[in-house]
Amino acid sequence: MAKDKSVTDPAKRKKLTSNVMDHAEEMMETKIKKKKKKMEIEEAPVDIPHVTIKTSDKKQKKTKKTKQTKTHEVEGEEDLSPEEKRVMERKMKKILKKEEKKRIKAEGETVQKAEATGPNAPQQALDYLTCWAENRTEWKFQKTRQTWLLQHMFEFEKVPDEKFSVLLQYLEGLQGGSKDTTVQKALALVEESGKAPEDKDIQQRAHRAREIIQLLS
């Protein structure tokens, strides 16, 4: 069997050995580079400042919350027992609830007053009265509209005669303080008419006043 000349030939064998050595060196260099890169990654500094900032923010928020809580504490509260603190908290809640109710009531009264004196108040009051007379199923009591009618029912330019006759029917159900106030106002107008017999406007208002006194007395 013939021998391979590439193995027996010294020149070729030297070249083959050189190639093997070069390849081995390249592999070693590659391994060394990978190892260095790995070491650099492992030894790279951790970005601690970012974490520190977050922790600081949390501490600041916690401190701020604690300060806000302490602001609402009553002086000497730290000396109270848990049960006493609970009692005090309940009292504070009741006080705050009562104040909130007062505020809502005040706002509601302001809105009603604005509605009663607004530019559309006369027409809305008369429509309210018409609805009561003609469409009782759709009618709903509105104190604001009733108040306007009671305040202006003696004025012919605001409550015409045809509406006043309907208003008299409406007033038959008037009760309580509203009824008493209306009668007193009517009596005052009748008394005023005796002092100004020649004033037509006063006499007309007094005529309506006598009808209301007769109705509610």
Please state the domain extents for the chain.
88-117, 121-216
The CA angle 201-204-208, to the nearest 5 degrees, is 140
Q: Is the dihedral of CA 29, 30, 34, 35 positive or negative?
A: negative
More confident position, 57 or 53: 57
Q: How confident is the model at residue 71 (pLDDT cuts 50, 70, 90)?
A: very low
pLDDT of residue 64: 54
Chain segment 1-30, per-residue pLDDT in tens: 444 544 455 555 555 556 656 666 677 777
Instruction: Quote the pLDDT of residue 27.
Output: 74
pLDDT of residue 197: 86
pLDDT of residue 188: 93
pLDDT 10s digits, 95-130 = 888 888 777 766 655 545 545 456 588 899 999 999
Tokens for 190?
A: 């009748």
Q: Which one has a higher pLDDT value, 13 or 74?
A: 13
User: What is the enclosing helix (H) or strand (E) of 213?
Assistant: helix 200-216
With both helix axes pointing from N to C terminus, report the angle between 82-117 and 143-152 in degrees, rounded to the nearest 10. 50
Lowest-confidence segment of 5-9, 32-36, 175-179 by average pLDDT: 5-9
Question: DSSP secondary structure string, 170-187?
Answer: HHTT--HHHHHHHHHHHH
Q: What is the pLDDT of residue 191?
A: 92
Confidence label for 52 from pLDDT (cuts 50, 70 and 90)? very low
Helix (H) or strand (E) holding 16: helix 10-43
What pLDDT is stored for residue 13 in this prediction?
Answer: 54
Answer whether 147's CB lies under 8 Å from 117's CB: no
The tens digit of pLDDT for each residue in 127-158 reads 999 999 999 999 999 999 999 999 999 998 99
Model confidence, pTM: 0.46
Alpha carbon separation from 19 to 9, 11, 31, 33 (Å, rounded): 16, 13, 19, 21
Burial of 26 from C-beta contacts in 10 A (0-12 / 13-18 / 19+): exposed
Tell me the average pLDDT across 169-185. 91
